[in-house]
C-alpha cells in the first residue's frame, strides 16, 4: 500500500452520500445483514452547537456557505446541505407523497413502471421511520393563521403540511439546523440505524471515482481530509451524492454517458416569497416556518407554501431598501410572509468547472408566466387577509403582470433529473430499477433519477425509492 493510499476497506455495498437517498439504502441493507460502507464528504454536525445564527450556520451546514447559484436568466440561489444528513439536515421537513399524476406521467412518457400501490408500502415504512405527522394549527403559529384567513375568505383549497418531526416546539429555525433535534432528518434516524447494524460511516470522504471492472462495479476511490486516498472494494455501489454532484462523479469516472443525458434535464422548484405588514401581532419567528400550503393552483404549476423565519431571515429577504426596509423591520412582529413555488417546465444542466459544478438554468416563458400569475394570487391572498401593506419581490414600480425574468428575485429548491430514469438506454441514465444502463452493480438513489418536476417537496419520494431499491437488493433481484 502506497503512502498516499491510507486505507483500503472491503464491503459488499458502498453507498456514496448520507442524505435522503443514501441513508435509507445504507440502513435497510445493513439491517438486512449486508456489509455496508457509507462515504460522506461532509462532517457530522453536533446539534448542541446549532446556534440559529445565520452566518455561522450557513457556513457550517451549507455547501459554499449557502451561496450556490445557477448561471442563467435569472440567476437563482440554490441552497444545498453538506454533512451527515445532506439537505435533509437543513430543509423545512415537508413530506409529500409523489402525486398520482406524476407517477402516471413517468409510466406514460418514460416507461417507468411505478404506481401508488407499489410505492405505498415504502412510503409507509419511511413515514414511520422519520415520524411524519401533520402540523397542528397551534404549532403552525400566527403566520399560518394570517394565510389561512386569506385562503378561507377566497375559498381557496389549503391544508396543514405533513413533516418529519417529533416533539417540535416551533423554534422557527428549521433551515439553520434544528436546535432541539425534533426534525427527524436522516442523520438522526437512518444513519444511527445503519451504524447499529454494523455499517461503516466515514465522514470527510469525498468520492472521486467509481471503479468498474469487466462491466461491473468494483468499488470507489475517495479522498480523505488531509489528501490521503481511500479505496473501498465492493461489488455493488449506490451513488447518492445528489442531483448536482452525482453526474459530476459519474463523468469523472467515465461512466453513464452513453445516452447523452447525464448532467442534462435539470429540473428545479424556483421560488420566491411575499411579505405583508398586518395590523395584528404575527410573530412569524414562532411556530413551524413551513406549516401550511395552498394547492388551489397546483394544476397550473403553482404551489403556495409557508416560508417564515427569524428576524435575520426577514432582514435578508425583505424586498425593500433604505428607510422603508428599516421601517418594516421595526414592525417585524407584525410581518407575515408566504412562499410561491413553481413546478417548472424549464430545464438546465450541470457540468464541471474545475473542481466546482457549473449549473446552467434559463427560465422559459411558461415558467415566467407562472410567477406572474402566482404573484398576483399572493397579492390577492394577503389583501383578503387584511394586510396593511404588501411587499412583492419586484423592483419598485414593476407590476407582477409585467414582470420580466430579470425582475425576479428567486431561490430554488429540490434539484432533480440530471441522471434521469428511462426505460430506454438511449434516453436515460438509469432504468426502472435505478440501475445504470449497461453496467452491473451500479445504482443511483437520489433526486437525480427523478425524470420530471414533482410540484411538491421531493424528500419523501427520494426516500421511498431508495427504500424500494434496498429491499429489492436484499431480495437479490435488483429490481424496483
Are 360 and 349 in contact, with CB atoms under 8 Å apart?
A: yes
Mean pLDDT of the chain: 96
Q: How would residue 226 be classed by pLDDT, with cut points 50, 70 and 90?
A: confident
* The predicted structure's pLDDT at residue 6: 63
* The predicted structure's pLDDT at residue 4: 57
- What lies within 8 Å, CB to CB, of 72 at 6+ separation is 348, 360, 361, 362, 363
Q: How would residue 3 be classed by pLDDT, with cut points 50, 70 and 90?
A: very low
Share of the chain above pLDDT 70, in %: 98
Task: Report the alpha-carbon distance of residue 39 to residue 424 in Å, rounded.
Answer: 30
Are 20 and 446 in contact, with CB atoms under 8 Å apart?
A: yes
Containing 153, the helix (H) or strand (E) segment is helix 137-154
Catalytic machinery residues: 414
* DSSP class per residue in 353-403: ETTEEEEEE---HHHHHHHHHHHHHHHHHHHHHT-SEEE-SS-TT--GGG-
Task: Report the alpha-carbon distance of residue 125 to residue 468 in Å, rounded.
Answer: 10
* CA 119 centroid distance within chain: 20
Q: How would residue 480 be classed by pLDDT, with cut points 50, 70 and 90?
A: very low
Radius of gyration for the chain, computed over Cα atoms and rounded to the nearest angstrom: 22
Cβ-based burial of 100 (10 A; exposed 0-12, middle 13-18, buried ≥19):
exposed
First and final C-alpha spacing in the chain? 38
Average pLDDT estimate for 319-347: 97
Tell me: pLDDT of 2 over 70.
no
* CA 191 centroid distance within chain: 18
Tell me: pLDDT of 478 over 70.
no
- What lies within 8 Å, CB to CB, of 425 at 6+ separation is 258, 259, 431, 437, 438
Indicate the SS3 state at residue 417: coil
- What lies within 8 Å, CB to CB, of 247 at 6+ separation is 262, 263, 350, 418, 419, 448
Phi and psi of 219, rounded to 5°?
Answer: 150, -165
Q: How would residue 440 be classed by pLDDT, with cut points 50, 70 and 90?
A: very high
* DSSP class per residue in 425-440: TTT-SB-TTSBBTT-B
Average pLDDT estimate for 430-438: 97
Phi and psi of 162, rounded to 5°?
Answer: -100, 140
Task: Report the alpha-carbon distance of residue 453 to residue 366 in Å, rounded.
Answer: 14
Are 40 and 18 in contact, with CB atoms under 8 Å apart?
A: yes
* The predicted structure's pLDDT at residue 354: 86
Share of the chain above pLDDT 90, in %: 96
Q: How would residue 476 be classed by pLDDT, with cut points 50, 70 and 90?
A: confident
* The predicted structure's pLDDT at residue 23: 98
Average pLDDT estimate for 88-112: 97
Cβ-based burial of 297 (10 A; exposed 0-12, middle 13-18, buried ≥19):
middle
Q: Which of 397, 293, 278 is nearest to 338 (CA)?
A: 293
Return the CATH fold of 5-475: FAD/NAD(P)-binding domain (3.50.50)
pTM of the model: 0.96
Half-sphere exposure of 104 (CA within 13 A, CB side): 3
Tell me: pLDDT of 333 over 50.
yes
Left (φ > 0), alpha (ψ -120 to 50) or beta: where does 456 sit? Answer: beta
* The predicted structure's pLDDT at residue 1: 36
* The predicted structure's pLDDT at residue 355: 82
Q: How would residue 477 be classed by pLDDT, with cut points 50, 70 and 90?
A: low
Indicate the SS3 state at residue 16: strand
pLDDT in tens, 239-280: 999 999 999 999 999 999 999 999 999 999 999 999 999 999
Q: How would residue 203 be classed by pLDDT, with cut points 50, 70 and 90?
A: very high
Which one is predicted more confidently, 478 or 425? 425
Amino acid at each position: 500500500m502506497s503512502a498516499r493510499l491510507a486505507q483500503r476497506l472491503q464491503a459488499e455495498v458502498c453507498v456514496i452520500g448520507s442524505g435522503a437517498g443514501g441513508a435509507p439504502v445504507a440502513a435497510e441493507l445493513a439491517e438486512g445483514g449486508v456489509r455496508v460502507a457509507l462515504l460522506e464528504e461532509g462532517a457530522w454536525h453536533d446539534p448542541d452547537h446549532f446556534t440559529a445564527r445565520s452566518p455561522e450556520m450557513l457556513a457550517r451546514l451549507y455547501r459554499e456557505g449557502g451561496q450556490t447559484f445557477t448561471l442563467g436568466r435569472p440567476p437563482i440561489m440554490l441552497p444545498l446541505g453538506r454533512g451527515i444528513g445532506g439537505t435533509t439536515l437543513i430543509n423545512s421537513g415537508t413530506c409529500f407523497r409523489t402525486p398520482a399524476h406524476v407517477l402516471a406521467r413517468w409510466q406514460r412518457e418514460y416507461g417507468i413502471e411505478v404506481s401508488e400501490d407499489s410505492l405505498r408500502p415504502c412510503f409507509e415504512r419511511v413515514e414511520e421511520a422519520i415520524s411524519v405527522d401533520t402540523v397542528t394549527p397551534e404549532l403552525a403559529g400566527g403566520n399560518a393563521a394570517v394565510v389561512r384567513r386569506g385562503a378561507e375568505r377566497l375559498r381557496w383549497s389549503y391544508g396543514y403540511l405533513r413533516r418529519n418531526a417529533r416533539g417540535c416546539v416551533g423554534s422557527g429555525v428549521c433551515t439553520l439546523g434544528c436546535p432541539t433535534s425534533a426534525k427527524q432528518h436522516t442523520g438522526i434516524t437512518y444513519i444511527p440505524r445503519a451504524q447499529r447494524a454494523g455499517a461503516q460511516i466515514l465522514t470527510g470522504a469525498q468520492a472521486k471515482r467509481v471503479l468498474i471492472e469487466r462491466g461491473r462495479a468494483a468499488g470507489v476511490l475517495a479522498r480523505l481530509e488531509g489528501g490521503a486516498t481511500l479505496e473501498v472494494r465492493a461489488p455493488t455501489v449506490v451513488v447518492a451524492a445528489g442531483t448536482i454532484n452525482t453526474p459530476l462523479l459519474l463523468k469523472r469516472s467515465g461512466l453513464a454517458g452513453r445516452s447523452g443525458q447525464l448532467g442534462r434535464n435539470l429540473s428545479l422548484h424556483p421560488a420566491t416569497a411575499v411579505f405583508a405588514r398586518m395590523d395584528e401581532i404575527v410573530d412569524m419567528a414562532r411556530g413551524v416556518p413551513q406549516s401550511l400550503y395552498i394547492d388551489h393552483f397546483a394544476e397550473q404549476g403553482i404551489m403556495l407554501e409557508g416560508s417564515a423565519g427569524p428576524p435575520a431571515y426577514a432582514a435578508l429577504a425583505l424586498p425593500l431598501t433604505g428607510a422603508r426596509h428599516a421601517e418594516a423591520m421595526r414592525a417585524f412582529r407584525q410581518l407575515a410572509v408566504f412562499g410561491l413555488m413553481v413546478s417548472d417546465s424549464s430545464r438546465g444542466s450541470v457540468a464541471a468547472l474545475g473542481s466546482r459544478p457549473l449549473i446552467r438554468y434559463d427560465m422559459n416563458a411558461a415558467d415566467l408566466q407562472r410567477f406572474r400569475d402566482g404573484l398576483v394570487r399572493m397579492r390577492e391572498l394577503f389583501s383578503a387577509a387584511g394586510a396593511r401593506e404588501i411587499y412583492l419581490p419586484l423592483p419598485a414600480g414593476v407590476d407582477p403582470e409585467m414582470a420580466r425574468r430579470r425582475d425576479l428575485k428567486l431561490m430554488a429548491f429540490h434539484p432533480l433529473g440530471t441522471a434521469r430514469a428511462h426505460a430506454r438506454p438511449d434516453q436515460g441514465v438509469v432504468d426502472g430499477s435505478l440501475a445504470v444502463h449497461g453496467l452491473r452493480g451500479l445504482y443511483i438513489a437520489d433526486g437525480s433519477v427523478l425524470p420530471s418536476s414533482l410540484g411538491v417537496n421531493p424528500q419523501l419520494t427520494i426516500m421511498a425509492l431508495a427504500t424500494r431499491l434496498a429491499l429489492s437488493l436484499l431480495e437479490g433481484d435488483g429490481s424496483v
